[in-house]
Amino acid sequence: MRPGKRGYLIGIGGVSMSPLAEVLHGEGLIISGSDMQRSDKVSHLENIGIRVNIGHNAENINAGYDFIVRTAAVRDDNPEIKAARELGIPVFERTQAWGALMKRYKNALCIAGTHGKTTTTSMCTHILMAAEKDPTVMIGGTLPLLHAGHRVGAGDTIVMESCEYYDSFLAFCPTIAVILDIDADHLDYFADLEAVKTSFLKFARLVPPDGVVVANYDDANTMDALKTLDRRVVTFGLSPEADVQAVNIVSRGAQTDFDVIHKGKLFTHLHLQVPGLHNVKNALAAAAAAITLGVSPTAVTYGLAGFHGANRRFEFKGKYNGADIYDDYAHHPGELRALLDAVEPLGYKRVIVIFQPHTYSRTNALFRDFVTQLQRPDLTILAEIYAARETNTLGISSASLAKEIPGSIFRPTFDEIETILRASVQPGDLVLTVGAGDVYQIGEHLTALGK
């Protein structure tokens, strides 16, 4: 992956592949690729001089390519993969390519954790932009500041949201690894919580001896996972024992003010425009990462003051019949708990949650925890499980959850759910569409009615 080398990216229009293509192109490599359909991302790549083939065909691959990069959705039976293997061209996964790219940056800031990755990566981006570090960024969601989920910068810092699923973050090369929390998730891949903790420990050990691991002191699983780590660790949390601590926390509706203490001394004062104690901790993680990078307190303050949330993270969608409509990506019981903790003090007459579980395996493995959290809203409406990558071999449905949640309603189609909402939503209500699937469409449709 050096200037002048020729690379071909299969699935080049993807959310993580298109910025990878742009970065490699900017580094002086000759990049082309393919995607199954045209999109705005494909058009953008073509506009900056990257050739994109529509459709995957063996004829697109020739011996002139030095390497192939594929997205996770591209399997070994793909005709372009087959052609590359027949020609002896090395094939790499997307995460391997990003990992190789990180080696070119003085600072590789990788944000990991079961919950809060997108928000904290977005907060770090705001801080580094305020500090004029001109970072390269890869986020798992859209950030309004960037009008995208990525940014190609010319500075010496790259910021990457880093996911543990399938151990994908183990292909990265962090100089600063942030671990927000560790919880039992992705149990279709990991055997149990201990396997998840082992994966995060391996991730932390990727940091070089002169690097830093930023860890959540308040999270018992994180601290247990790192107890044998032989790297410098900077902790954050609400505990007085944390290296970076929040004190004097004052919440006013959706806004939160607090002081950031670093090793017993005031570092800065923060004014957050997003609610919830979980976002205080996310901001502390971002501040701790900024401290390790030598960013000024002023840049941290101004960077976070301008942060109003990432796409699908307590995102305001509009109003319907006097009610506020918000959307959130929460798809794990821990994320539901944090979301409901954040909204309950906001003073709404009722909290109505439309929840779409994500994957059969997660719903089954964490069933009782979902039931516990989904009893909390004034009204819970359940959409059918979003299958994502799975088939239903477990025989589970959202109807199974509804049977255990008093007063809840299950409806298998969005049209049926919208009918209930149009008849019941009142002024002063908070309506939350929640889940990692396409449940956000319900809120968008309601607000588009303009009532």
The sign of the torsion formed by the CA atoms of 214, 219, 223, 225 equals negative
Residue (of 48, 161, 70) closest to 115 by Cα position: 161
Cβ count within 10 A of residue 289: 30
Active-site residue 197, yes or no? no
Cα angle 134-136-138, degrees, rounded to a multiple of 5: 140
- Per annotation, catalytic residue among 71, 95, 114, 118: 118
Is 161 catalytic? The answer is yes
- Quick one: the chain helix, strand, coil %, rounded to 5? 35, 25, 40
Q: Which of 120, 142, 157, 161 is catalytic?
A: 161
Catalytic residue from among 117, 197, 281, 317: 117
CB 143 within 8 A of CB 24: no
Task: Report d(CA 96, CA 106) in Å as an integer.
Answer: 18
β pairing state of 176-179 and 157-161: unpaired
**Which amino acid, one-letter code, is at 347?**
G
Report how far residue 37's alpha carbon sits from residue 338's, in angstroms, rounded to the nearest whole number: 38
Q: Do residues 135 and 159 make contact, with C-beta atoms less than 8 angstroms apart? A: yes
117 is annotated as an active-site residue: yes
- What's the Cα-to-Cα distance from 96 to each of 17, 19, 20, 92, 362, rounded to whole Å? 12, 14, 11, 6, 27
- Which residue type is seen at 152? V
Taking CA atoms, 352 is separated from 64, 219, 261, in Å, by: 57, 29, 37
Angle CA(9)–CA(72)–CA(139) in degrees, nearest 5?
Answer: 85
Give the neighbor-by-neighbor strand order of the sheet with 232-237: 148-151, 136-143, 157-161, 107-112, 176-179, 212-216, 232-237, 244-252, 255-262, 265-272
Among all residues, which ones are annotated catalytic? 117-118, 161
